[in-house]
Amino acid sequence: MEKLEQLAKKAIGLRPIDRIRLVEAILFSLDKPDSEIEKSWAAESEARYEAYKRGELESYDWEDIKKGFGR
C-alpha cells in the first residue's frame, strides 16, 4: 500500500470535483452504524420512557422549550 503522503499528493492533484467525491467516499466509509451503540441508545430510551410513565421523570412542553424557559 502506498504511503499516506503519496496518496495525499495524488489526491491534491485531482480536479476539485474529484477531490470532493473522494472526500465524500472516505466520509461515507466512516459513517457506519455501530450495533452496540444502537442497542445502548434503544435501551436508554426505553428505560427513560418507562421512568416517564411511572412519573419518575419530569417532562416539559415543547413550546416552552422553544421559548428558552429556564435560561
Do the beta carbons of residue 59 and residue 52 sit within 8 Å? yes
Query: What is the average pLDDT across 14-33?
Result: 92
Q: State pLDDT tens for residues 46-69.
A: 999 999 999 999 888 898 888 887
Statement: residue 4 has pLDDT above 60: yes
Do the beta carbons of residue 53 and residue 45 sit within 8 Å? no
What is the C-alpha separation between 18 and 13, in angstroms, rounded?
10
Do the beta carbons of residue 48 and residue 57 sit within 8 Å? yes
Burial class (CB in 10 A: 0-12, 13-18, 19+), 70: exposed
Sequence spans of domains, the chain:
1-32, 33-71
